Structure 1
Amino acid sequence: MNNNKPQTLKGFRDFLPETMTVRNYVKNLFIETFENFGFEPLETPTLEYASTLMGKYGDEGEKLVYMFDDKGGRRVGLRYDLTVPTAKVLAMYPEIPIPFKRYQLQNVWRADNTQKGRYREILQCDIDTFGTSSPVADAEIIAVIYTALKKLDFKKFSIRINSRTVLKNILLQSGITNNQNSTLQSLDKFQKIGEDGVRKELKEKDFSQLQIDSLFKYVKVAKPDKNLAAVFTAIKSFNLPDWCYAFDPTMVRGLDYYTGTIFETYVEEPKIGSITGGGRYDTLIKTLGGPDIPAVGTTLGLDRIVDCIIELNLLPKLAKTKVKIMVGNFGPETEKESLELTSLLRQNNIATIFYPDADKIGKQFKYASIKNIPFVALIGSDEAINKVVTLKDMTTGEQKTLTQNEIVKSMLK
């Protein structure tokens, strides 16, 4: 006898229909927004060669990639993000018209430590523009973020914007020529642990007091470089309100492939970390063996965004089911008429289910009630003889006798 209790792996989740209703609502809103901005859909494989994935995410990121040898002895890995596989696509398919604006919604896997808002399997939602270095493309990505979050009724969020060029200049001015990545890793924690916390960490890493003081001196006077200033000008021209974005010279973004503008979005509550993150990566396609194509894009963290929506009660009143009517089952005697009604309703784009077993009618009503199905249609022997249907409103309990065509008209109102 097997005594193993069914369970889901840590960091992975099952999504029941009620949760999927919320997730699909957010996904569909994202897709509507992306397509309104002219982005096109793309999908890439779940597995990639290890050589495609490694060397793109930094030392910390690469520790989180699920890697293994497949049955053919090939070293492969699960998708860690969507950007690197899409860069591979552009390297492989030079006939794709440039600029190429794509969106992609697929799962990614990360062997991460689990906590609130952090999972090991994530549905990632990405948009990227390939083939242009224009600051307008960077600003447009930020405009998409703002538009999507406003459609979801987020009111208190901040898109923090910086540039790798600004960070390089700060390090140069501070006289920090060695261990630059280590410096930036500590600086990136500024929002979490503050200036004192960053200073303490840098001291523990054996940076001199002069270097630490110089770093913060130049952080505090940093300004956008010429390209980043042009991005801010374009953001303003896209009519984004001033409150939703800001220059933040302490924001780093961890991935090694960023080359210019970088940005992240945070909400005031709940304290869940960034809900979007992206930037410009102009050398990645070339790194993958393709042409020298510049690119900019962002990830919208659907899982964290859904968590925020639920916690902040931002959801509109969503129907718990799309099924509008259930056709009851009185057994073989009237099955033909019941199935014909089911088919007629579906032909008129009315979401309908047929109860599969001839159970007691009370059990059928109970099922419809549990599933929040608003109407039940019944065809017993009397209804079949008279070519009518009994329609029960599950909210009020009211019952009517109607023809099949009258039921269709009633459901379409």
Structure 2
Amino acid sequence: MKPSLAKGTRDFTSQEVSRRKYIINILQNNFQLFGFQPLETPSFENLSTLTGKYGEEGDRLIFKILNSSINEAKEDKKTQMLTDFQKALDKPFSSESLTDKALRYDLTVPFARFVAMNHGQLTFPYKRYQIQPVWRADRPQKGRFREFYQCDADVVGSESLLQEVELIQLYLKSFSDLKVSVTIHVNNRKILSGLAEYAGITDKLIDFTVALDKLDKIGKDGVIKELLERGISPESIDKLDFLFSQSDDALENLLQLKEKFVGNEIGLKGVEELEFVLTQSLSLGVDLQNLVFDITLARGLDYYTGAIFEVKADEAQMGSIGGGGRYDNLTAVFGVKNIPGIGISFGLDRIYLVMEELGLFPEEASSKVEYLFANFGGEETLEALKLIIQLRAKGISAELYPESAKINKQFTYAEKKGIKNLVFLGEEEIKNRTVTFKNLEAGEQKTVSLEEFLG
């Protein structure tokens, strides 16, 4: 059988792994600079932990794990369970006899579960970062995979809006370090709730936000069509038409909302919160060209309660490369109330694709061997290995070609592998305590003393 990959998954070559680590190291350093501590959670969770937290569409994308108990069941019970499974294949299912575990969909809900289980031992505000893979049963396409990494930073136990301001700073510093020019789109779920109240569709808030969140994918006409399909009246849609023609001035747009939200408590609260975040960020030197109030930004996750963020690359067509928001009620679903939280995520895989497309990876982001020692056999091989040990002790990468092959073959190996220098330690060099090496990039060859070579 011809080997193949499961759809939406990838192998990573040595260069890709090195470049991914380059991104992760920059993010990890910045997480720690901002006071975040590392955390890891299991790859799979109880299905009940995940369901109901991501909205209707998100729940459909959860990868469920078939119970191993099917194989352990008695024959008659196994037959019934397999019959149930066959019936369930064409629709979402949650029967515990079939599945009670699932691969994690994101890192936020497992984090909330961790906080709920350990809140008595944590010091609040608790700041954690997490870099691990997640899985979604999505349709694979450019920049969208079924298995991918998220790099999250979250703060729980604080309602201060300064957390929003700090996370914007974390985004801007991290992308600046990666040399990726970005725009951070911001909104507030309270503003969206206020819009629903303004349009008389409070009972359709989720339908409204799910449709609005697709604006960049399906356009204004597509959103209006979906709103109608979700039972929202043309009159309500007409009242919301101003959403699709916002000015470039964020503060002017907020002023317009204030006028529409007179007497609308939740909407005005959202405007007040967002105004604080924008003005504070402006005072800290953030250019409002890089921080955009996007009134149509909804992010289709049910757990957001306040600020929401989405980051887009300025010079590449890639969709969002980061996102997040405030989720003040998430731990309540696990029986622990009054622990507010906010977090952001960096999309490692999409950031990689953007940097690759724009040629932003520096040479040091690729893992290359510094020296390949030619293998001449006999005593020379032993002397070469001794010298390699000394180089490795200094943190310099080196290897010996494993066979005493023709020198052309060893040259070809070094070139294909991208090794910088080919070293010749032959009888003459050993006798004179010298080393001859050729820089394969510059094409220059020279002989130096052993002491000079080891530096």
- Report the TM-score when normalising by structure 1: 0.91
Match for residue 201 of structure 1? Answer: 226
d(CA) in 2 for partners of 1:340 and 1:218? 71
SS at match of 1:106: strand
Distance 1:366 1:187, change over 3 A: same
Distance 1:329 1:262, change over 3 A: same
Post-superposition CA distance 1:152-197 (Å, at most 9, x none): 2233x32111111111111111111332211222222233344333
SS at match of 1:242: coil
SS at match of 1:116: coil
Match for residue 317 of structure 2? Answer: 271
**Contact kept in structure 1, 2:150 and 2:347, CA below 8 Å:** yes
1:285 has 2:320 as partner: no
d(CA) in 1 for partners of 2:19 and 2:190? 39
1:29 corresponds to which letter in structure 2?
I
1:222 has 2:257 as partner: yes
d(CA) in 2 for partners of 1:367 and 1:261? 54
Match for residue 16 of structure 2? Answer: 19
Q: 2:122 aligns with which of 80, 91, 96?
A: 96
Match for residue 364 of structure 1? Answer: 410
1:175 has 2:200 as partner: yes
Question: Displacement, 1:408?
Answer: 1.6
**Contact kept in structure 2, 1:189 and 1:198, CA below 8 Å:** yes
Match for residue 250 of structure 2? Answer: none
SS at match of 1:92: helix
State the superposition RMSD in angstroms: 2.2
Question: Displacement, 1:334?
Answer: 2.8
**Contact kept in structure 1, 2:206 and 2:302, CA below 8 Å:** no
1:314 has 2:360 as partner: yes
2:342 corresponds to which letter in structure 1?
V
Question: Displacement, 1:78?
Answer: 1.1
**Contact kept in structure 1, 2:211 and 2:227, CA below 8 Å:** yes
**Contact kept in structure 1, 2:61 and 2:138, CA below 8 Å:** yes
**Contact kept in structure 1, 2:19 and 2:365, CA below 8 Å:** no
Question: Displacement, 1:111?
Answer: 0.7
Post-superposition CA distance 1:37-69 (Å, at most 9, x none): 222222111121212222211111111111113
**Contact kept in structure 1, 2:184 and 2:291, CA below 8 Å:** yes
d(CA) in 2 for partners of 1:61 and 1:105? 21
SS at match of 2:328: coil
**Contact kept in structure 1, 2:209 and 2:299, CA below 8 Å:** no
1:348 has 2:374 as partner: no
Distance 1:346 1:126, change over 3 A: same
Question: Displacement, 1:269?
Answer: 4.3
2:14 corresponds to which letter in structure 1?
P
Unmatched 5+ stretches in structure 1: none
- Report the TM-score when normalising by structure 2: 0.83
1:190 corresponds to which letter in structure 2?
L
Match for residue 145 of structure 1? Answer: 171
1:37 corresponds to which letter in structure 2?
F
SS at match of 2:203: coil
- Aligned residues between the structures: 405
SS at match of 1:181: helix
Show the 5 A alignment for 1:11-410.
11-71=8-68, 75-94=100-119, 95-155=121-181, 157-217=182-242, 221-222=256-257, 224-290=270-336, 292-318=338-364, 320-409=366-455
Q: Compare 133-142 and 284-293 and name the one that shifted more.
A: 284-293
Q: Compare 358-367 and 377-386 and name the one that shifted more.
A: 377-386
1:10 has 2:7 as partner: yes
**Contact kept in structure 2, 1:135 and 1:234, CA below 8 Å:** no
Distance 1:62 1:204, change over 3 A: closer
Q: Compare 89-98 and 388-397 and name the one that shifted more.
A: 388-397
Post-superposition CA distance 1:101-140 (Å, at most 9, x none): 2211111111100111111110111111121111010111
**Contact kept in structure 1, 2:243 and 2:296, CA below 8 Å:** no
d(CA) in 2 for partners of 1:322 and 1:38? 33
SS at match of 1:102: strand
SS at match of 2:320: coil
**Contact kept in structure 2, 1:321 and 1:373, CA below 8 Å:** no
Q: Compare 12-21 and 310-319 and name the one that shifted more.
A: 310-319
Q: Compare 26-35 and 252-261 and name the one that shifted more.
A: 26-35
**Contact kept in structure 2, 1:143 and 1:238, CA below 8 Å:** no
Distance 1:237 1:400, change over 3 A: same
SS at match of 1:225: helix
